[in-house]
Copies of this chain bind each other. A is one copy, B any other.
């Protein structure tokens, strides 16, 4: 791959662009733009920022991603999860003098951009792998619930209430008397309509004979319809005078390019949250991008995706926006609508820019309850009960990590939730590797293959004991192995040889080597010779120069069958003729 194309994928797909692509991309862009205008306003509101910030954050990032991104159909912009995190982060800040929440959000996007670019340039993409699937799933589900419950106040016309689940619910209850009935009717009406559009309407459309593609389009346009109807109603009936909160004045046109704050105290407060947003945003982007790429047999490059995301957030930050990432819903819409290349994103950016220039006076009357209803419906699809059940059946450890993540996110917060989930996953992994399965193996008769004596019908002799630890030997488990071998020696009198079958031992660290030395010495004192078999290449590369092989009382055999052939051939049954 030419070096310039590596960092500027636009040079690749741009060279093959043609009229057919342009037509498909244009159609997709129109559909996505229509969907994104209300969604951008909604997510800005979710982030606790003025609604136009959402629009600004939807323009330049799409342009940046089109230049730097490797996915053909990923769409970047404000997403529910990152917007919620932004709200919580800024809400918890001690804002220095002269720094407004909007300025803080811009600065957060810039810091996040710097982190993402650094991660991309240093190829640190693999860090995101440490968020296990159960932890991500649990985190996203819990966040979906948190967001939905947090938006309920908009449906009822109640004041702001943030924090964890308990705090939000308490806030709702304590202010219940201030509920605005008109808002509630409007809000729950929208909610009901949007749920119906997703579940009831498609069946009706199919029976009416509508083609699948058009039916999907209508369903996706549901929020837009709700926005149009409720805005008209709000204007016609002057609902604002009756206490229904509306979006209000949105500045028309683009903001001037502004600098974020460079206040050191602010940066210090934002550093860790920005890191979390970057990692979580990256994980979400990669999940979506890989799903889309698989559908079209394309490949994405995670380290380049980091750079693209970084540039997108740079654009968001300097344009007066908030942190952005690849969004699942908007990307799926883009994909389903037939986008072929990232040019669709460029055209979408133009569409939203147009809305910002011309449509904003119209949005004046849009009720906030409508936006809240669209958010609630969107995020409740994030709650993934199916996965929770699957993981309960497959792995109690993973289920435990998932539950810890969900509980921490719901009852403590976003940051403790994700960090707690990662820590629990890692601790469970380390605990498992520190008490490894250690099998005593024997020969599967008639073959050169050796398996666990407890599970298979195998032949063993009495003078040779073969032990196969099912784990790399490292500091957390080497004493465990020592103890097991000594216990086995004590149980099996008459032993002359012990063979350590290393086929599952992928590494031996310094503490592990100490343990092997200790085992070798103790066995020798007890009159038993210690051997190794099936040592892997990379492990041998380290063992050989250490002098251990010379210390070893016995030998290192290439295969377990060789070991038995040499040490106790009478115990073997001959292998079949192939």
Contact = CB atoms under 8 A, between A and B. Distances in A.
A357 B135 CA distance: 62
Contacts of A536: 437, 439, 452, 470, 504
Given A506-B504, A536-B470, A561 B132 contact: no
A327 to B, nearest CB: 21
Given A455-B537, A476-B129, A575 B572 contact: no
A133 B511 contact: yes
Contacts of A437: 506, 536, 538
A436 B506 contact: yes
A207 B60 CA distance: 87
Interface in A559-578: 559, 561, 565, 569, 572-578
Contact of A510 (B132, B433, B486, B572): B132
Contacts of A436: 506
Interface string A436-479: 11010000100111011011000000000000001110111111
Interface in A480-495: 480, 486
Contacts of A126: 434-435, 476, 480
Contacts of A477: 129
A572 B578 contact: yes
Interface in A252-296: 294
A206 interface: no
Contacts of A574: 577-578
A448 to B, nearest CB: 4
A136 to B, nearest CB: 9
A559 B449 contact: yes
A546 interface: yes
A425 interface: yes
A398 interface: yes
A13 interface: no
Contacts of A449: 448, 558-559, 561
B509 A398 contact: yes
Given A394-B513, A506-B470, A130 B430 contact: yes
Contacts of A486: 299
Contact of A393 (B434, B476, B522, B545): B545
Given A299-B486, A391-B510, A429-B509, 12 more contacts: A126-B476, A130-B430, A132-B510, A134-B511, A135-B475, A395-B509, A398-B511, A471-B472, A574-B577, A574-B578, A575-B575, A575-B577
Interface of A: 126, 129-135, 294, 297, 299, 390-391, 393-395, 397-398, 425-426, 429-430, 432-437, 439, 444, 447-449, 451-452, 454-455, 470-472, 474-480, 486, 503-507, 509-511, 513-514, 518, 522, 525, 536-538, 542, 545-546, 558-559, 561, 565, 569, 572-578
